[in-house]
Amino acid sequence: MLPEAIRWNGNSIEILDQRKLPDVVEYINCTNVELLANAIETLAVRGAPAIGIAAAWGVVLAFKQGESVKLSIERLRVTRPTAVNLFWALDRMASASDYEQEARRIQSEDVENNRKIGAYGEKYLPKESVVITHCNAGALATGGWGTALGIVRSAREAGKNVKIFACETRPLFQGARLTAWELEQDGFDVTLICDNMAAYLMSKRKIDAVIVGADRIAANGDTANKIGTYSLAVNANAHGIPFIVAAPRSTFDLSIPNGSAIPIEERSESEIRRLPGGQTVPIRIKAWNPAFDVTPFELISAIITEDGEYEPK
Amino acid sequence: MLPEAIRWNGNSIEILDQRKLPDVVEYINCTNVELLANAIETLAVRGAPAIGIAAAWGVVLAFKQGESVKLSIERLRVTRPTAVNLFWALDRMASASDYEQEARRIQSEDVENNRKIGAYGEKYLPKESVVITHCNAGALATGGWGTALGIVRSAREAGKNVKIFACETRPLFQGARLTAWELEQDGFDVTLICDNMAAYLMSKRKIDAVIVGADRIAANGDTANKIGTYSLAVNANAHGIPFIVAAPRSTFDLSIPNGSAIPIEERSESEIRRLPGGQTVPIRIKAWNPAFDVTPFELISAIITEDGEYEPK
């Protein structure tokens, strides 16, 4: 069963409150643009494509209520700085003649695009595959189907057997709370790991691909995505594992030559200092919990003991 | 002020309960070997050298109480599988003639060794340094002073200014709960990060060294340490940053040719599924919380969009 992140009910926008998942499946009813902007800012809805779709419906809502479309677009533009799909969707809405039709198109095209991404991407996966993913680039982050998780779904449709390791994604646990839950609901074999375990996992068993989504892609291909993606990419490359980014073309920002110009949102320190407590995933979801890992000597500059320095290399 | 992890009071072993730090500073009074074994198993005391010291005092306790020294050693040997210092300390105790003197020596020699490690290791750090560390290899993990953190302390004694980024160390947050607290108590400039942020930090600012402790070092230098260490090592190497292991010689296990033979403890899945809640560090401790990072195109095998695959490389 695929969760629906955003629903337009004719009068207001229903947003699946992703802050409460997986414990509670509850929709917030956004009856005005400020409530929607708030839902985006506080991550009730998140994921680059989903943010764009939600913002598009926000413009419809403003128009229906006789509010200024221009001011609504301005308000929605300042909700999150990094994902470029937000600005792309708002730009489309700004030049649309029929707002409702345009929002509906943005949403349905996103699902179609996810399906195409899935069809292209699943070719990277062998019949029996093991994939590592980070954060949530699934149905919850899109109009449905998903980008990174769309590839996994399309591979299953093509008759392949895909096992997924979901990195929990500190500090907000989107990998645990959203991806592990979304995949488990959809009948996949998913195992939760802490972010710092992915490299050790790559060294211990065959991983066919690391697949992630994207929040903004510069003209040269440099890709901004959830914190921790870069570490996975370095590690995937060190282990000779394909590192695959799955994203609609609306994620590209050709005005930016490379990644150094992508604005990176810095969030509150309290997200790291304070833990929400309780279950991040239901106890029926598998987890892998090695307490230690092994670092090969080639990677160690010096081992310093009371007798002096050894240089294993 | 240096915390004291283990105190022998003449009749029993007082163990600083590291499960309750930093909220509560409280000692458990281990009045028999079973209570001590339990304290080791449940991580009230942890850190390879500290486990060895605690176990040594356990043998003293058994002897004083007229219990079988041999059975006590057998019991303590099965508390944790990975750290070799435990077995090294118990072997020393098994062949000692004066148990109390031997335990006292194991503890005081550990502090002396930490000082020597600090003196050797601090030479790797420039006058103004930025260091990343993982888990806790500090006073809390040793007889005092610390191994990885001992280097940082010795650098300060030598007049250097060291700023430390502490990786929080999922799943049990020893970096947040222990290292950030220990360094802050000791007047250091410490900033907490999530484990998955270290690679991005390396790409954004000059890091002088990654310094970690060790639980067991094979004959060839392969090093077992807290999960997440390997990921840091791969990333440090990719960024040309010295990756330094600080450990007493008792951490070497020359009977093991390489890391593949080191037994890795697998712990309960619930440590990942369930969060303790509340503060992991007091709000006065700094944290750095970028929500995204940038992955350079060279590391990306393919970007898959609805139009097909791009290969940025």
A303 chain-B contacts, CB cut-off 8 A: 214, 217, 221, 223, 244-247
pLDDT at B99: 98
pLDDT at B188: 97
Question: Given a cut of 90, is residue A297 above it in pLDDT?
Answer: no
CB contact under 8 A, A230 and B295: yes
Using CB atoms and an 8 Å cut-off, which of residues 147-166 of chain B contact chain A? 151
pLDDT at A86: 96
Please report which confidence band the pLDDT of residue A309 belongs to, taking 50, 70 and 90 as the band edges.
Answer: confident
Please report which confidence band the pLDDT of residue A49 belongs to, taking 50, 70 and 90 as the band edges.
Answer: very high
Q: What percent of chain A has pLDDT over 70?
A: 100
Taking only the tens place, the pLDDT of each residue in A8-42 is: 999 999 999 999 999 999 999 999 999 999 999 99
Q: Angle B143-B147-B148 (CA atoms, 0-180°, nearest 5)?
A: 145
Question: Given a cut of 80, is residue A1 above it in pLDDT?
Answer: no
Residue of B nearest to A286 (CA): B269
Residue whose structure tokens are 């943010």: A51
pLDDT at B312: 82
CB contact under 8 A, A299 and B236: yes
Residue B10, token pair as written in the block: 């003449």
pLDDT at A199: 97
User: What's CA B127's distance to the chain center, in Å?
Assistant: 25
Active-site entry in B110, B186, B215, B253 = B215
Cβ proximity of A206 and A178 under 8 Å: no
A23 classed as catalytic: no
pLDDT at A18: 97
Instruction: Average the pLDDT over A36-60 and give the result.
Output: 97
User: Secondary structure of chain B in the HEC alphabet?
Assistant: CCCCCEEECCCCEEEECCCCCCCCCCEEEECCHHHHHHHHHCCCCCCHHHHHHHHHHHHHHHHHCCCCHHHHHHHHHCCCCCCCHHHHHHHHHHCCCCHHHHHHHHHHHHHHHHHHHHHHHHHHCCCEEEEEECCCCCHHHCCCCCCHHHHHHHHHHCCCEEEEEEECCCCCCHHHHHHHHHHHHCCCEEEEECHHHHHHHHHHCCCCEEEECCCEEECCCCEEEECCHHHHHHHHHHCCCCEEEECCHHHEECCCCCHHHCCCCECCCHHHHEECCEECCCCCCEECCECEEEECHHHCCEEEECCEEECCC
The per-residue pLDDT string of chain B (313 residues; one tens digit each, 9 = 90 and over) reads: 788 999 999 999 999 999 999 999 999 999 999 999 999 999 999 999 999 999 999 999 999 999 999 999 999 999 999 989 999 999 999 999 999 999 999 999 999 999 999 999 999 999 999 999 999 999 999 999 999 999 999 999 999 999 999 999 999 999 999 999 999 999 999 999 999 999 999 999 999 999 999 999 999 999 999 999 999 999 999 999 999 999 999 999 999 999 999 999 999 999 999 999 889 999 999 999 998 888 988 899 888 988 888 888 7
CB proximity B45 to A under 8 Å? no
Q: What is the ipTM of this complex?
A: 0.94
Residue A179's nearest CA partner among A215, A211, A222, A216 is: A211
Taking only the tens place, the pLDDT of each residue in A192-207 is: 999 999 999 999 999 9
Q: Angle A52-A168-A277 (CA atoms, 0-180°, nearest 5)?
A: 100
Question: Given a cut of 80, is residue A285 above it in pLDDT?
Answer: yes
Amino acid, single-letter form, for residue B209: A
pLDDT at A192: 97
CA distance B150 to B152: 5
